[in-house]
């Protein structure tokens, strides 16, 4: 294959809606078996990219190959080998939990007999066996999400696309979803996901790109990005009253200082070493030394102003 | 009563966004029916003689007036009531303000009555233009149409509040509202119906409304008969309101 | 591996069958409306009408009610239900993530709307025949005729549903549908109208539908019935073509 065995191969991939350029000439490759993430704030172009990969949004410009095929001409064939978890659940509220899986499988040309067994396995995998014959409507958000994931697996996809798989879920429901996705990854399913949760990207992704205003701002593994764009540790200082002037206090000992309305962040490779100095000079109410996260990377790259 | 007025105002305010579309269903539709069935079909019915005593368009006009009121009342008191309980939850919002269940229910009924009054009022003007009103008493057909409307909106609101699914509402249209429209003396005298069905027709509020309205537009009304019709409609409406309050309370207060 | 456009439409049909297996009562109840009209106007009012074109009034309007109910059923399914699934329930968004395409959706939904219309037509014809309102063996062809009628209106309805933006727009559908129902020589012959108006009415698809079905139930079949049927088939096919293009535009953005 000309694209070096990548499951998804994009060069100069562009999506325009009228004058708006949602995806601006991006390049990336997704390799077989990896978990690849698109990270970015709302409006960064993540979902548009996902919809192009899912062959439900025509490419405006550039090259896109999915499973070695061209979405423009081979859309149905590609979709037959993909699993898609869209941003908003598109479950069929007029059908039961189980029927949702069966009819969706029928769309892929699977036989009813095959699907009977398959639906049981999938419901067990997402822990919904007990709701099999219930209507979809009253399910909780987490259950609906799990059902959507089960549905996306009905055709045994080679590539699974997940658009913000845990947005809007409570912490417990998120962990259940992560756990299931982690198991899929172990089974060798290639995952492509978008998220704006740093912990999600750190948990699930082998490699990720950070998107900002339709472009790819950074690319790498979570650890690489932290190493390259942040420090090993971050010290968070909180104050009882107004924040005292920090300027000059830590000169030469920190990589960067960031002042926020409610706290001060010190980026450093050795957080503990700064704690005595901070207490002595600034008298903070609390001091927290933590590992640097993708959130730090992300906010540094895309800024703290709200992009919506 | 002030609570009910507040609820009423809410519905009037939301109607301001919808009135354009409702013109079609509430006024244009009955006029089209009158033109097609009264005037067009009338050419076949009359064929020289007047088998119903008067020209056919004159005969159906008061029936269409009251039936139009019934249709609006029935439509407004079904899906919107279920919606206000289940989907938009407007009733719950009202109860979170200092309104009682009775205020919520009465306020909505006032709105239904206003909708019926507005449409049937305009419709009555159209009937006059078609030359179908033969007595000054015809103007009294207007309040009769409104009263008949409430005789539907009150029990139907009770039904809609009680109904577990919206398919129950479609069923009430298919098996009650449409048959009433077709068989309650609107298009032909109920004396044409077989015995059992005729007795059933006499028991429906639509027949009472239509019969009274027809005597008013033809100028053949007698006050004893009018009293019976009005008393029947009032009783129907009152029973409906009582049921509606019970059904609302059961759904909204737990 | 290529998939021919539209060859998997039957799976949408299968989906609808699955839904209505539980809600068959809703479908069943739709049988009654045309029968109520038949009893009310045909038998109740018919007494005062007398004979029309040499047959009883009930015989005269029965085929018109059959054609109208085929129209109403097809339009209802093709507009309200399709609009709901397109804009709110997002049924088709899920479908398009599979190998199915917009053509499958358009064809699948049209065939479903037609199937429903066929059920109603069959129920109505059996009832009308048992009441002695079918005057010829040609009447057996009223059923396939109703299918043609359903196809025509389902195709146009599906195309219309892709233009509908809000529930309020349905009043516009009604604004076309109700006058068509009332004035397409449904309840009285064309001769009631002045000549100029008669020509306008002749273009109404429902008028063509009624002429077609009436020819069969009254046994007055002629070659011009092919024109009636052809008119409806062409309108339906144009509707589906348009719907397919519009759905692709709406769903594949």
Summarize pLDDT for C152-206 with one digit per residue, the tens.
Answer: 998 999 899 888 887 777 778 888 899 999 999 999 999 889 999 999 999 999 9
pLDDT of res. C88: 73
C and B touch with 3+ CB pairs <8 Å, answer yes
Q: Which of C28, C42, C45, C73 to probe by mutation at the B interface, max B CB count within 10 Å?
A: C45
How many domains does one find in chain C? Answer: 1
pLDDT tier at A307, thresholds 50, 70, 90: very low
C133 burial via Cβ count (<10 Å: 0-12, 13-18, 19+): buried
| Cβ neighbours of B80 in C, within 8 Å | none
Q: Is C183 on the interface with B (CB under 8 A)?
A: yes
Contact C183 B36 (CB under 8 A): yes
Q: Is residue C3 part of a domain?
A: no
Q: Report the share of chain B in percent with pLDDT over 90.
A: 68
Where are the extended beta strands (E) located within A131-244?
Answer: 159-163, 190-195, 207-212, 215-220, 233-238
Q: Is residue C141 part of a domain?
A: yes
Q: How far apart are CA C207 and CA C200, in angstroms?
A: 10
CA distance C230 to chain A (A): 33
Q: Is residue C1 part of a domain?
A: no
Q: Is residue C5 part of a domain?
A: no
Residue ranges of the domains in chain B? 2-252
| Cβ neighbours of A107 in C, within 8 Å | 8, 11, 95, 98-100
Render pLDDT for B125-162 as a digit per residue (tens, 0 to 9): 999 999 999 999 999 999 999 999 999 999 999 999 99
The three-state (H, E, C) secondary structure of chain B, written as one string: CHHHHHHHHHHHHHHCCCHHHHHHHHHHHHHHHHHHHHHHHHHHHHCCCCCCCCCHHHHHHHHHHHHHHHHHHHHHCCHHHHHHHHHCCHHHHHHHCCCCHHHHHHHHHHHHHHHHHHHHHHHHHHHHHCCCCCCHHHHHHHHHHHHHHHHHHHHHHHHHHHCCCCHHHHHHHHHHHHHHHHHCCCCCCHHHCCHHHHHHHHHCHHHHHHHHHHHHHHCCCCHHHHHHHHHHHHHHHHHHHHHHHHHHHHHHCC
Q: Mean pLDDT over residues A124-152, rounded?
A: 91
Task: Name the token pair of A288.
Answer: 């927290």
Contact A90 C90 (CB under 8 A): yes
Backbone angles phi, psi at A193, to 5 degrees: -135, 155
Beta carbons within 10 angstroms of residue A181's beta carbon: 23
Render pLDDT for C8-37 as a digit per residue (tens, 0 to 9): 888 989 998 888 888 777 778 888 889 999
Q: Name the more confident of B113 and C250.
A: B113
Q: Is C93 on the interface with A (CB under 8 A)?
A: yes
C-chain residue closest to A105, CA distance:
C98
Is there a contact between C73 and A32 (Cβ–Cβ < 8 Å)? no
A6-220 and A231-291 agree in CATH topology: no
The arrangement of secondary structure in A231-291, i.e. its CATH architecture, is 2-Layer Sandwich (3.30)
- Residue C180 CA, chain-centre distance (Å), reads 12
Contact A79 C98 (CB under 8 A): yes
Residue ranges of the domains in chain A? 6-220, 231-291
Task: Name the token pair of C199.
Answer: 């020509």
Domain that holds residue C208: 10-251
Dihedral (CA of B119, B123, B124, B129) sign: positive
Q: Is it the case that residue A3 has pLDDT exceeding 80? A: no
The mean-pLDDT minimum among A42-46, B16-20, C139-143 falls in B16-20
Render pLDDT for C80-139 as a digit per residue (tens, 0 to 9): 778 877 777 778 888 888 989 888 888 888 888 888 888 888 999 999 999 999 999 999
pLDDT of res. A4: 57
End-to-end CA, chain B? 23
CATH topology of domain A6-220: Rossmann fold (3.40.50)
Backbone angles phi, psi at A156, to 5 degrees: 50, 60
Contact A84 C253 (CB under 8 A): no
pLDDT tier at C6, thresholds 50, 70, 90: low
- DSSP letter for each residue of C180-218: HHHHSSSSS-GGGS-HHHHHHHHT-HHHHHHHHHHHHHH
Q: Is it the case that residue A2 has pLDDT exceeding 60? A: no
């Amino acid at each position: 294959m000309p694209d070096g065995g990548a499951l998804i191969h994009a060069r100069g991939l562009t999506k325009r809606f009228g004058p708006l350029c949602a995806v601006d000439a991006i390049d990336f490759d997704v390799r077989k078996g990896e978990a690849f993430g698109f990270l970015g704030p709302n409006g960064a172009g993540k979902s548009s990219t996902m919809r192009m990969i899912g062959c439900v949004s025509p490419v405006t410009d550039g090259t896109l190959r999915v499973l070695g095929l061209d979405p423009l001409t081979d859309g149905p064939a590609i979709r037959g080998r993909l699993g898609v978890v869209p941003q908003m659940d598109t479950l069929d509220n007029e059908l039961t939990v189980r029927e949702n899986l069966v009819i969706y499988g029928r769309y892929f040309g699977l036989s009813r007999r095959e699907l009977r067994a398959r639906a049981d396995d999938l419901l067990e995998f997402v822990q919904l066996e007990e709701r099999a014959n219930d209507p979809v409507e009253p399910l909780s958000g987490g259950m609906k999400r799990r059902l959507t994931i089960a549905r996306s697996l009905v055709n045994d996809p080679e590539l699974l696309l997940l658009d913000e798989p845990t947005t809007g879920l409570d912490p417990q429901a998120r962990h259940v979803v992560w756990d299931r996705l982690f198991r899929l990854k172990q089974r060798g399913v290639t995952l492509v996901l978008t998220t704006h949760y740093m912990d999600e990207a750190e948990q699930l992704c082998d490699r990720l790109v950070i998107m900002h205003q339709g472009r790819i701002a950074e690319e790498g593994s979570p650890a690489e990005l932290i190493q390259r764009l942040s420090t090993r540790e971050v010290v968070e200082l909180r104050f009882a009253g107004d924040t005292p002037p920090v300027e000059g206090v830590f000169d030469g000992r920190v990589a960067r200082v960031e002042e926020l309305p409610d706290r001060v962040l010190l980026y450093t490779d050795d957080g503990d070493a700064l704690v005595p100095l901070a207490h002595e000079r600034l008298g903070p109410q609390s001091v927290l030394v933590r590992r640097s996260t993708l959130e730090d990377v992300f906010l540094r790259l895309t800024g703290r102003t709200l992009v919506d | 009563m002030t609570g009910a007025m507040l609820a009423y105002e809410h519905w009037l305010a939301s109607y301001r966004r919808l009135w354009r579309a409702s013109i079609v269903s509430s006024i244009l539709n009955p006029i089209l029916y009158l033109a097609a069935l009264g005037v067009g079909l009338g050419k076949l019915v009359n064929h020289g003689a007047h088998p119903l005593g008067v020209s056919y368009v004159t005969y159906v006009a008061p029936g269409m007036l009251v039936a139009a009121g019934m249709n609006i009342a029935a439509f407004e008191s079904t899906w919107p009531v279920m919606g206000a309980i289940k989907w938009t939850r407007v009733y719950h919002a009202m109860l979170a303000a200092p309104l009682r269940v009775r205020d919520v229910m009465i306020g909505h009924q006032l709105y239904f009555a206003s909708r019926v009054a507005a449409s049937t009022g305009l419709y009555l003007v159209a009937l006059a233009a078609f030359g179908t009103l033969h007595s000054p008493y015809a103007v009294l057909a207007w309040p009769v149409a409104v009263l008949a409307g409430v005789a539907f909106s009150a029990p139907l609101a009770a039904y809609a509040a009680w109904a577990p699914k919206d398919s129950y509402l479609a069923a009430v249209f298919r098996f009650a509202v449409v048959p009433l429209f077709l068989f309650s003396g609107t298009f032909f005298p109920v004396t044409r119906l077989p015995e059992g069905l005729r007795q059933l027709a006499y028991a429906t509020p639509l027949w009472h409304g239509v019969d009274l309205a027809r005597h008013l537009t033809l100028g053949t009304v007698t006050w004893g008969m009018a009293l019976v019709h009005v008393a029947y409609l009032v009783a129907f409406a009152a029973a409906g309101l009582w049921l509606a309050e019970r059904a609302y309370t059961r759904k909204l207060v737990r | 591996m290529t998939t021919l456009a539209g060859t998997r439409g039957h799976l949408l049909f299968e989906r609808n069958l699955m839904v209505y297996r539980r809600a068959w009562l809703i479908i069943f109840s739709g049988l009654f409306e045309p029968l109520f009209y038949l009893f009310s106007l045909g038998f109740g009012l018919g007494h005062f009408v007398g004979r029309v074109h040499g047959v009883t009034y009930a015989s005269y309007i029965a085929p018109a009610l059959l054609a109208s109910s085929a129209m109403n059923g097809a339009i209802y399914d093709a507009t309200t239900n399709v609009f709901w699934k397109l804009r709110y329930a997002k049924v088709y968004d899920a479908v398009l993530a599979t190998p199915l395409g917009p053509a499958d959706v358009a064809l699948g939904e049209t065939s479903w709307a037609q199937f429903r219309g066929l059920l109603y037509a069959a129920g109505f014809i059996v009832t009308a025949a048992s009441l002695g309102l079918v005057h010829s063996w040609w009447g057996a062809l009223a059923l396939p005729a109703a299918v043609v009628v359903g196809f025509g209106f389902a195709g146009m309805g599906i195309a219309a549903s892709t233009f509908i933006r809000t529930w309020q727009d349905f009043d516009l559908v009604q604004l076309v549908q109700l006058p068509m129902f009332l004035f397409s020589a449904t309840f009285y012959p064309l001769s009631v109208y002045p000549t100029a108006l008669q020509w306008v009415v002749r273009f109404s698809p429902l008028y063509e539908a009624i002429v077609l079905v009436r020819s069969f139930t009254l046994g007055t079949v002629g070659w011009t019935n092919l024109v009636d049927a052809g008119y409806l088939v062409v309108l339906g096919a144009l509707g589906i073509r348009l719907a397919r293009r519009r759905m692709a535009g709406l769903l594949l953005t």
